[in-house]
Each structure stands twice: as C-alpha cells, then as structure tokens.
Amino acid sequence: MTAPLVEANGAAIPALGLGTWEATNDACIAAVQWAIEAGYRHIDTAARYGNEEAVGQGIRASGISRDKLFVTTKVWYEDLSESNLMRSAEASLRRLGLDAVDLLLIHWPNASIPLKETIKALGRARRDGLTRHIGVSNFPVALLDEAVARSDEPLVANQCEYHPYLDQSKVLDACRRHGLAFTAYCPLGRGQLLDERAVVEVAERHGRTPAQVVLRWHVQQPGVVAIPKSANRERIAQNIDIFDFALDEDEVARISGLARPDGRMIDPSWAPAWDKAA
Ligand code: A2P
C-alpha cells in the first residue's frame, strides 16, 4: 500500500513514513528495504541516529528510483551555526549516498545559537541544492512562529513527538496556521499505547491491529504525517496498511481521551522547556 500525500507549502509529503531512530546496521538496511517493498515512499533519519549509511544502503538495495522517494534528515542541535550546518548537511548526503535530501530539519532548537543564523543557513542549504525543502523539529509554538517569520524560504514541516497520550493541539494549530505539515514521531507512544483498552476495543471492532488504529488516528487529522518505527518486516507492512478504513468521530474522541499531563516521553534536559502555552 502507498500513502496519500500531505501538501505543505509546496512540498508533497507521504502521510506515512518509516522512522529509523534506534535502528542501526543490518537491521536498519533491512527495515528500509522492507518498507520500500511494502510501499513506503518516505524514510526519516538524522545525522544523530548514526544510521544514514545504512539508510542509504537500504534505499539502494530496494532498487527504487530516487525521484519516487521522500528522504528526510536532520542537523543535530550542536551544529546549528552557519558553517557547521552546511558541513553537517554535506556529511549527511555523503553518508546517505544522495545528491540531495527531500527535507532537511533542525533536529532541536538551541538557545545558545541565534535562530536567525540557523534559519539563514537552512535557507542557504536549500538554495545550494542540498535539500529540496526545509523545516524544523521539536519547535514549540513561539519558536515556530519566530522561525517562520525569519525564514526567506518556506518551511514545510515541524516534526514533534505526538501520540494519543500527548495533546499537541497548540503546536498542530500553529503548523496549520503556517501551512506546515505536523510530522508525528513516536506515533505509537514507543509501543506503549498498544495495550490500552480503548485502542484494543476499537481495533477489534474494525478487525485491525492496535497499531493500525493509532496510526489511522494520526493520518485522519488534516496535515498530520506519522513516522512509526519498526524493525520487523510484518509490522512494517502492517503499519502502512491503514488507508482503506476510517475511525468515526466517537472512536477518534475515545482515543484522544487517552491524553494525560505526563504524556510526553522524549524531553531531554538540555532542550528548551515546553511551556504550558505550547
Ligand atoms: P518493533 O521495531 O519490534 O516492531 P514509535 O514509532 O511510537 O516509537 O514505536 C516504536 C515501537 O513500537 C517499537 O518498539 C516497535 O517495535 C513497536 N511497533 C512498531 N510497529 C508495531 C506494530 N504494528 N505492532 C506492535 N508493535 C509495533
């Protein structure tokens, strides 16, 4: 199955992609190849994941033509000065074995490097042809507003943690206001959502798996792209097989009702605080 496209400020992003955080070496090569064979056209990696070479090998092993694939990578938060960002992006391309990626993201904001400088460098990476599109990741609303205001080039995505335990309506609204896609990482709550009674019951009603129901909950929301991670061939195929059924309003509300104040799972101590407004 292939995923429909989410249009965002000139980019067309497949609504379901493969997350590769914590997949390395042969397991990562295999996961990428299986995903492409199952119909995935969107692969997400990052310089920090240490797996760009494996992602590149998986892409080549699949035999798919480059123009059919949407590949995202990210620049680590310590490399956000202009010269470091360009160097990081070039090194990512070398490791991936690609001439350009489709999307280059700032992995996390960094308060000690002016956003103005980083956004300018990101725009330069696009104009220099290192990437077709640019965006951000882990940007709360105020920082996203600032990034959009400062950028000469369109930003197309803000990639953040998102799953039914974590209410992200404020960030999602801000993405929609600016025309960005909201890319959900850890969309399955790192797998922890799959035993929830509400999810299991909705899954049974549809004859689907809990993971399929949670991913369907994501992609039914306008502008949302989900990038579940799996290293298992069957689960990789299962996770994209979600475009031939739909959750009704009550089912969506029931799953959204799982949100809780401590729902955030990824919150590094060095990252800017997610204030209540964001
Ligand atoms: P595995 O790699 O063994 O499939 P998230 O994307 O939210 O971070 O979740 C990733 C976790 O969920 C991984 O532990 C992954 O394990 C597991 N997972 C991914 N897809 C499925 C699925 N369809 N069913 C059950 N577990 C899944």
Q: What mean pLDDT do residues 201-227 have?
A: 98
Summarised one tens digit per residue, pLDDT across range 118-159 is 999 999 999 999 999 999 999 999 999 999 999 999 999 999
pLDDT at 276 over 80: no
- The one-letter amino acid code at 259 reads A
Confidence label for 272 from pLDDT (cuts 50, 70 and 90): confident
Q: What mean pLDDT do residues 24-30 have?
A: 97
Structural fold of domain 5-256: TIM Barrel (3.20.20)
Q: Cβ(14)–Cβ(2) under 8 Å?
A: yes
For residue 166 and ligand 1, the question of a CB distance below 6 A is answered with no
Q: How far apart are CA 76 and CA 118, in angstroms?
A: 12
Q: How far apart are CA 217 and CA 213, in angstroms?
A: 6
- E strand or H helix at 155, and its extent? strand 155-161
Cβ count near 66 (within 10 Å): 12
List the domain boundaries for the chain: 5-256
pLDDT at 277 over 70: no
Q: How far apart are CA 276 and CA 191, in angstroms?
A: 26
SS3 275: coil
Q: Which of the listed residues 32, 200, 216, 229 should we mutate to test ligand 1's pocket, taking the one with most ligand atoms within 8 A of CB?
A: 229
Q: Is the entire prediction scored with pTM above 0.95?
A: yes
CA of 273 to the centre of ligand 1 (A): 27
**Ligand 1 atom nearest to 229, measured from its CA:** 6
Burial (CB count within 10 angstroms: exposed 0-12, middle 13-18, buried 19+), residue 24 = middle
How is residue 221 written in tokens?
């929301």
How is residue 83 written in tokens?
């010269």
ipTM over 0.95 threshold:
yes
pLDDT at 187 over 60: yes
Summarised one tens digit per residue, pLDDT across range 67-79 is 999 999 999 999 9
Query: Residues at the annotated binding site?
Result: 107
Confidence label for 278 from pLDDT (cuts 50, 70 and 90): low
- E strand or H helix at 18, and its extent? strand 18-19
CA of 243 to the centre of ligand 1 (A): 19
Q: What mean pLDDT do residues 203-230 have?
A: 98
